[in-house]
Amino acid sequence: MRLGFIGGTCKNLKIGVLPKMMIVVFFGVLVSSSVFAQNPTEIIRKAEDKLQGNSNFAEISMTIVRPDWSREMTMKSWSKGTDLSLILVTSPARDKGTAFLKRSKEMWNWQASIERVIKLPPSMMMQSWMGSDFTNDDLVKESSTINDYNHKMLSDSTIDGRICYQIELIPKEDAPVVWGKLLLWIDKADYIQMMSKMYDEDGYLVNTMRGYDIKEIGGRTLPTKLEMIPADEEGHKTVIEYKSMEFDIDIADEFFSIQNMKRVR
């Protein structure tokens, strides 16, 4: 799985006991894709595909930064298509061994300390993982930036010296999405999502996500560091870093099973 830009927000990140909804960010921000031409939909598809692959494995660290404190956690994640995902928390020590499995629209949590599989109710995923605004809808419907929005090409702009397509996404009527508008900046040369801005239904900016440290990882040129910055909270941000990534790995559907969720390491 690849954390993408679209739909991500991280107001109120919560630390503490790793909540059952930790998946939210990961499945929520998940993006998928494929490529073609200069129509905005195809550009988004291509950028998303680059992040996801048919399947992938990643080692990720996530740091929540606040004016007075910060917290870090690390995890491994595997995904295949948009239906199958498995995440294993590797630190902090308190939460190490906790795992999350998603198969289609169902989710389970393995609590290693009490040796118990917990099926997560949809409303629990509606609540954010670590305070983010992801909802269950983001999660299970994977509110698709391709299908749930109308796309409009705006004028190009430059970010960190890279010329980017700027695309506006307005939700389709009755689309199950939380945003009023999204703006995406996608690098023309490498189809890298350089920045995204998320606006609420009243048009106010809620979050900005930025990609940094573009380099080759898992054989693809991608930003290896993402920052999610809430608009109205001074000194708050969440930093996601990819330690390693592999794409199009050979992984069986059975890998994404309750049996394996308990054993994966």
Query: Rounded to the nearest whole angstrom, what is the least distance from the CB of residue 25 to other proteins in the complex?
Result: 14
User: By CB under 8 A, how many residues form the interface with other proteins?
Assistant: 46
Of 10 and 195, which has the nearer Cβ to other proteins? Answer: 10
CA angle 152/213/219 to nearest 5° reads 85
Say which residue the tokens 């954010």 belong to: 128
CA pair distance 24, 7, nearest whole angstrom: 11
What is the DSSP annotation of 97-140? T-EEEEETTEEEEEEGGGTEEEEPPHHHHHSPGGG----HIIII
Q: Contact with other proteins (CB under 8 A): which of 46, 71, 181, 225?
A: 71
Q: Does 66 bind other proteins (CB under 8 A)?
A: yes
Q: Are 260 and 254 in contact (CB under 8 A)?
A: yes
Of 140 and 226, which has the nearer Cβ to other proteins? Answer: 140
Query: Rounded to the nearest whole angstrom, what is the least distance from the CB of residue 83 to other proteins in the complex?
Result: 12
Of 13 and 209, which has the nearer Cβ to other proteins? Answer: 13
Nearest CA to 59 among 20, 30, 91? 91
Q: Does 106 bind other proteins (CB under 8 A)?
A: yes
Residue 18 has, within 13 A of its CA and on its CB side, a CA count of 27
Q: Does 88 bind other proteins (CB under 8 A)?
A: no
Of 122 and 220, which has the nearer Cβ to other proteins? Answer: 122
Q: Contact with other proteins (CB under 8 A): which of 37, 38, 67, 114?
A: 114
Query: Rounded to the nearest whole angstrom, what is the least distance from the CB of residue 133 to other proteins in the complex?
Result: 8
CA pair distance 13, 237, nearest whole angstrom: 9
Query: Rounded to the nearest whole angstrom, what is the least distance from the CB of residue 255 to other proteins in the complex?
Result: 10
Output DSSP code: residue 259. H
Q: Does 116 bind other proteins (CB under 8 A)?
A: yes
Query: Rounded to the nearest whole angstrom, what is the least distance from the CB of residue 154 to other proteins in the complex?
Result: 31
Q: Does 16 bind other proteins (CB under 8 A)?
A: yes
Say which residue the tokens 């599989």 belong to: 117
Q: Contact with other proteins (CB under 8 A): which of 83, 105, 212, 232?
A: 105
b/e string for 83-97 if b means 16 or more Cβ within 10 A?
ebbbbbbbeeeebbe
Pairing between β-strand 181-187 and β-strand 162-171 as defined by DSSP bridges: antiparallel
Q: Contact with other proteins (CB under 8 A): which of 135, 145, 196, 207?
A: 135
Q: Does 254 bind other proteins (CB under 8 A)?
A: yes
Contact residues for other proteins (CB under 8 A)? 12-17, 21, 64, 66, 69, 71-72, 92-94, 96-97, 103, 105-106, 113-116, 118-128, 131, 135-136, 253-254, 256-259, 263, 265
